[in-house]
Amino acid sequence: MSERKKFYITTPIYYPSGKFHIGTAYTTVLADSIKRYKTLRGYDTFLLTGTDEHGQKIQTVAEKNGKTPQEHVDLMAEEAKKLWKLMDIQYDDFIRTTESRHTKVVQKIFDRFMETGDIYKGNYEGWYCMPCETYFTKTQLVDGKCPDCGREVKLMKEEAYFFNMKKYADRLIKYYEDHPDFIKPEYRKTEMLNNFIKPGLEDLCVSRTSFDWGIQVLKDPKHVVYVWLDALTNYITALGYMSENEELFEKYWPADLQIVGKDIARFHLIYWPIFLMALDLPLPKTILVHNWIMMKDGKMSKSKGNVIYPELLINRYGLDATKYYLLKEVPESQDGLFTPEGFIERFNSNLCNDLGNLLNRTIAMCNKYFKGEVPKYNGTPNEVDKEFEEFAKKQVENVEQKYDEYNIASALQEIWELIARTNKYIDETLPWTLAKENEEEKLKSVIYHLIENLRKIAIMLLPVMANTANEILRQLGIEKNNLKTWESLSKYDQITQVKVIEKGEPLFMRLNTEEEIDYIKSSMKS
Ligand code: MSP
C-alpha cells in the first residue's frame, strides 16, 4: 500500500481574552479551507489549533470577571470550541497551553536552553504594552504609545532571562536565502530583513517575575516563562515532542504550513525558526502571513462599536456565505475591508445571481428539454463549445495553482470567472432558440457542457463552501464518488446516466439590501 503524503498545518493559538470576531476567526477559516483542499488532493492532513492561555493580560481579564485565571480560560476554551463547531472547522487537535502535555515540555525546553547557554540571565528595561504583552524600545513607540495597538505603555525594569537571538542571526538570513518557499508572500521576508534582522537582532526576553500566571521556570521558580517561548512551542508539544510518545511528532513535523496574521509575523518568522534551530529541529516548510480584515474606521474594537461577530453572519446568512465573504475579501497584497454594503452586495450578486441562477437555469433547461436526463457527451460540435471547454480546462488549472499557492481569494476569483463564462455561454448559445429550431445535437451539447461546468465548479468550491458544493452536486444528480474527486476535474466526458432533480431549489435567497444593511449596522452597535 502506498503511503499518503502528510500535510501538517497550524493556526496561531488564540488569546482567550474576549469574544472572537470575524477578524480572529479569519485565520482559522483560511487554515480549514486549505486543510480541506489538501485532503481532497489525497493528503493525510493534520490541522492544529488551540488557545494561548498564559500571561498578564489573561490574569487581568479573569480578575475583572471575578474568576481565577484557570476558571476563565476553561470557559473561554469551551467558547472557542463552540465557535469552531458552528463554523465546521475540521481541526484534528486543540491544544491549550495550560495542559500538562504542554507545560511540562516547555519547562524541559527552557532547561535545555539554559544548559546550552542560549538563555542567560539579565535585566530588562523597556516600554511595556500590557494588552500586547510586548516590550518596545523607545524608538519603536509611536507618539509615545504602543506601535501595535496605540495604547499607553509603561517603563518597566525587571530581572529576566534572555534568549540569545544574535547568535542565530546569520544562520537565519542564510536560511531565508536558501529556502525561497519559507515565507509567503515574499514581501514579508523583505520586511523582516530590513526592519528587524539587518539593523541588529535584539535578544528576546523569555521570562517574567512581575506576574505569576505562566509556566514556572523549574530552576528559578520566581520566574515564569514569557509568553512567546511558551506559545510558539505549542506547534510541537501538541505532537508529543519530548514526551513518552513522539509518534505524531515523527510523522508530522516539520509543519508543511503555518498560518499567521501580519501582527504576529515577527514572532513566527524570526523567533520561532531560531528556537527550532536551537533545538536542532527542522523548520516548517512554509509560513504564510495573511493580511487583516479592517473596518472603514480602522481596526475592529468594542470601544469603537464596529465589531462583527461570526455568529451574527452565520445565523442570518449561513455559514457558506460568511466563509465565502471572509476568504474572498482579504487579498494577498493588502488588508481587506468589511462593509455591510459589500457583504450584502456580494451575497446578492455573486452567490444569488452568478452561482444560484446558473444552477437554477441549467436544471430548468435540462428538465424542459430532456426530462431531466443529462445528455451524453458527444464531443464538441462547434467552435463555441470547443472554446468553452478549453476555457474550463484552463480555469481548473488556474484554480489548482492558486490553491497550491494557498491564495484562496484568488482561487475564488478564478472560480467566479468560470461561473461568469458559463453564464455567458447560455447567452451565446441561446438554448431556447436551438430547441425551437430542432437543433437537437447542439442543444444536447449545450446542456451537457453546462452540467459539466457546474460539476467542476462544485468540486472546486468544496474546500471553501462544502455545503453549497454538495447541494449543487445533489441537485445535478451527481452521486458517484468518482465524479466528485479533484482528479475528475481534468476530464470532460465522464457524466453518464445522470438525472437532475425535478425542480431546482434556490441555493441562496435574494436579500433586501436596505433592510439587511440596517440589520448588520444595528447589530454592530449592540
Ligand atoms: N496568541 C497569539 C498567537 C500565538 S501563536 C503561537 C495571538 N492571538 S490572537 O487571538 O490575538 O490572534 C489570533 C489570530 O487572529 C492572529 O493570527 C491574528 O493576526 C488574527 N487576527 C486578529 N484580528 C484580525 C483581523 N481583523 N483580521 C484578520 N486576522 C486577525 O496573536
Shortest-distance Cα residue to atom 16 of ligand 1: 261
Exposed e or buried b per residue across 409-436, where buried means at least 16 C-beta atoms within 10 angstroms of its C-beta: bbbbebbbebbebbbebbeebebeebbe
Range of weakest confidence among 52-66, 398-412, 426-440, 464-478: 52-66
**Is the minimum distance from the CB of 50 to ligand 1 under 6 angstroms?**
no
> Cα separation of 21 and 389, whole Å?
42
With a 6 A CB cut-off, is 431 part of the ligand 1 pocket? no
* AA letter at 451: I
Closest protein CA for atom 9 of ligand 1? 14
Round to whole Å and give the CA distance between 94 and 109: 21
* Pairwise CA distance, residues 28 & 359, whole Å: 30
- Quickly count helices (H) and strands (E) in the chain: 21, 14
Instruction: Please provide residue 512's backbone torsions phi and psi, each rounded to the nearest 5 degrees.
Output: -80, 115
The ligand 1 atom nearest the CA atom of 300: 26
Nearest atom of ligand 1 to the alpha carbon of 293: 27
- Which atom of ligand 1 has the smallest separation from the CA of 262? 19
In the reported structure, the alpha carbon of residue 31 is separated from the centroid of ligand 1 by a whole-number distance in angstroms of 13
Higher pLDDT, 489 or 140: 489
CA distances from 183 to 27, 33, 136, 297 (A): 16, 20, 25, 30
Q: Using CA atoms, how far apart are residues 337 and 525, in angstroms rounded to an integer?
A: 18
Query: Per DSSP, which regions of 102-221 are E strands?
Result: 119-129, 134-136, 154-163, 183-184, 204-205, 207-208
**Cβ distance 453 to 395 under 8 Å?**
no
Q: Which amino acid does the sequence have at 26? A: Y
Q: Is the pLDDT of residue 37 over 90?
A: yes
- The pLDDT, as a whole number, for residue 115 is 97
**pTM to 2 decimals?**
0.95
Nearest ligand 1 atom to alpha carbon 235: 6
C-alpha–C-alpha distance, residues 185 and 68, integer Å: 41
pLDDT in tens, 414-454: 999 999 999 999 999 999 999 999 999 999 999 999 999 99
Q: How many angstroms separate the alpha carbon of residue 522 from the centre of ligand 1?
A: 26
156: Cβ below 6 Å to ligand 1? no
Which of 149-153, 312-316, 324-328, 498-502 has the weakest average pLDDT? Answer: 149-153
Q: Which is it for strands 257-261 and 287-290: parallel, antiparallel or unpaired?
A: parallel
- Residue 1 has a pLDDT of 47
User: Is 24 near ligand 1, meaning CB less than 6 Å away?
Assistant: yes
Lowest-confidence pick of 18-22, 405-409, 462-466: 18-22
Which DSSP string corresponds to 244-275? S--HHHHHHPSPSEEEEEGGGHHIIIIIHHHH
- Atom 21 (ligand 1) nearest CA: 24
Q: Above 70 in pLDDT, residue 298? A: yes
Task: Reply yes or no on whether the pLDDT at 310 is more than 60.
Answer: yes
pLDDT in tens, 90-133: 999 999 999 999 999 999 999 999 999 999 999 988 898 877 76
Q: What is the pLDDT of residue 186?
A: 95
CA torsion angle 377 383 389 390 (round to 10): 140
User: Taking the CB of residue 100, how many other CB atoms lie within 10 A of it?
Assistant: 7
Q: In ligand 1, which atom is closest to the CA atom of 336?
A: 27
The whole-angstrom separation of Cα 326 and Cα 314 is 12
Tell whether the model's pLDDT for residue 63 goes beyond 80.
yes
Percent of the chain with pLDDT over 90: 87
How confident is residue 526, by pLDDT bands cut at 50, 70 and 90?
low
pLDDT at residue 291, as a whole number: 96
Ligand 1 geometric centre to CA of 489 (Å): 35
Our answer on whether the CB atom of 13 is closer than 6 Å to any ligand 1 atom is: yes
The CATH homologous superfamily to which domain 319-490 belongs is Isoleucyl-tRNA Synthetase; Domain 1 (1.10.730.10)
- Report the atom number in ligand 1 closest to the C-alpha of 17: 10
User: What atom in ligand 1 is closest to the CA of residue 294?
Assistant: 26
**14 Cα to the center of ligand 1, angstroms:** 6
**Which residue CA neighbors atom 14 of ligand 1 most closely?**
24
